Amino acid sequence: MTAHKSDPRYAGIAIAVENIVKRYGDFEAVSDVSFQVKNGEMFGLLGPNGAGKSTLIRMMTTLIPATSGRANIAGFDVAKEPDIVRRAIGVIPQALTSDIDLTVEENLSIYAKLYGVPKAQREKNIEELLRAVDLLKWRDAQTKTLSGGMRRRLEIARGLIHNPQIFFLDEPTTGLDPVSRVAVWEMLDHLRSTRELTILITTHYMDEADHLCDRIAIVDHGKLVALDTPIALKASVPGNSVVDVQFARDAGEWRERLETLAGLTSVEAQSVGSYRLHTENGPQTTASLVALAADKGAVIKSLSVQNTTLDDVFVHYTGRQLRDEQVKAPLFQMPPRPGN
Amino acid sequence: MTRMMAIVERDLRKFFRSPTLMLVSMVMPLVQLVILGNAFGGKIHNARVGVVDYDHGEQAVRVREMFDSVAANIKTFTAVNCNDERQAREDVRTGKLDAALIIPAQYSRRVLAGDSPKLGLVVDNSDQFMSSSLEAEMQSLADALNTPTVQPKVVQQIVLEIVELYPYVEYMKYLLAGSIALAMYVSVMIGGGMLYIDDKARGVHEGFLVTPITRLELVMGLNLAGAIKAVLSGVSLTVIGSLLAGLGGDFSSRAGAAASAVDCGRFDCV
Q: What is the CATH number of the domain that holds A205?
A: 3.40.50.300
% of chain A surpassing 70 pLDDT: 92
* For B205, nearest residue in chain A (alpha carbons): A97
**Domain shared by A218 and A261, yes or no:** no
- For residue range B99-124, what is the model confidence (pLDDT) as tens digits? 899 888 888 888 888 888 888 898 88
Q: Is B214 on the interface with A (CB under 8 A)?
A: yes
> What integer is the mean pLDDT of A47-65?
89
Rounded distance between C-alpha atoms, residue B144 and residue A317, angstroms? 101
Rounded distance between C-alpha atoms, residue A52 and residue A31, angstroms? 9
Please tell me the predicted confidence (pLDDT) of residue A146.
92
- For residue range A293-325, what is the model confidence (pLDDT) as tens digits? 888 888 888 888 887 777 778 877 777 655 544
Contact B210 A86 (CB under 8 A): yes
* For B218, nearest residue in chain A (alpha carbons): A114
pLDDT at B40 over 90: no
Question: What is the distance in angstroms between the Cα of A139 and the nearest Cα belonging to chain B?
Answer: 20
| CATH 3.40.1710.10 residue ranges for chain B | 47-166
pTM value is 0.67
Please check whether residue A312 lies inside any domain of the structure: no
pLDDT at A176 over 60: yes
**Domain shared by A54 and A123, yes or no:** yes
Question: What is the distance in angstroms between the Cα of B236 and the nearest Cα belonging to chain A?
Answer: 23
Residue whose C-alpha is closest to residue A147's, from A203, A104, A202: A104
Backbone angles phi, psi at A234, to 5 degrees: -70, -35
Rounded distance between C-alpha atoms, residue A130 and residue A169, angstroms? 18
Please tell me the predicted confidence (pLDDT) of residue A22.
94
DSSP structural state of residue A101: T
Class of domain B47-166: alpha beta
- For residue range A239-273, what is the model confidence (pLDDT) as tens digits? 678 888 888 887 778 888 888 887 787 787 878 88
Q: Is A34 helix (H, G, I), strand (E, B) or coil?
A: strand
% of chain B surpassing 70 pLDDT: 84
Q: In sequence order, what are the residues at sequence separation of 6 or more whose Cβ sits closer than 8 angstroms to the Cβ of residue B122?
A: B85, B88, B89, B92, B99, B100, B101, B102, B163, B165
Contact B203 A94 (CB under 8 A): yes
**Domain shared by A147 and A226, yes or no:** yes
Please tell me the predicted confidence (pLDDT) of residue A175.
85
> What confidence tier does A332 reach under pLDDT thresholds 50, 70, 90?
very low
* Counted domains in chain A: 2
The alpha-carbon radius of gyration of chain B (Å, integer) is 28
> What integer is the mean pLDDT of B153-163?
75
> What confidence tier does B125 reach under pLDDT thresholds 50, 70, 90?
confident
Q: Is B20 on the interface with A (CB under 8 A)?
A: no
Contact B210 A62 (CB under 8 A): yes
Sign of the CA dihedral with B12 first, then B198, A172, and A330 last: negative
State the CATH number of the domain containing residue A266. 3.30.70.100
Please tell me the predicted confidence (pLDDT) of residue B112.
84
Please tell me the predicted confidence (pLDDT) of residue A112.
92
Please tell me the predicted confidence (pLDDT) of residue B43.
64
Residue from the list A63, A98, A114 with its beta carbon closest to the beta carbon of B213: A114
Q: Which of A155-169, B6-20, B30-44, B48-62 has the highest mean pLDDT?
A: A155-169
* For B211, nearest residue in chain A (alpha carbons): A86
Residue from the list B210, B211, B214 with its beta carbon closest to the beta carbon of A340: B214
Asked if A295 and A196 count as a contact pair (C-beta separation under 8 A), the reply is no
Asked if A56 and A20 count as a contact pair (C-beta separation under 8 A), the reply is yes
Question: What is the distance in angstroms between the Cα of B204 and the nearest Cα belonging to chain A?
Answer: 5
Residue ranges making up the domain that contains A293: 238-307
Task: Give the ipTM.
Answer: 0.71
Residue whose C-alpha is closest to residue A150's, from A103, A88, A115: A103
Residue from the list A93, A111, A114 with its beta carbon closest to the beta carbon of B206: A93
User: What's chain B's length in residues?
Assistant: 270
Our separate counts of H helices and E strands in chain A read 11, 14
Contact A332 B204 (CB under 8 A): no
Backbone angles phi, psi at A134, to 5 degrees: 60, 45
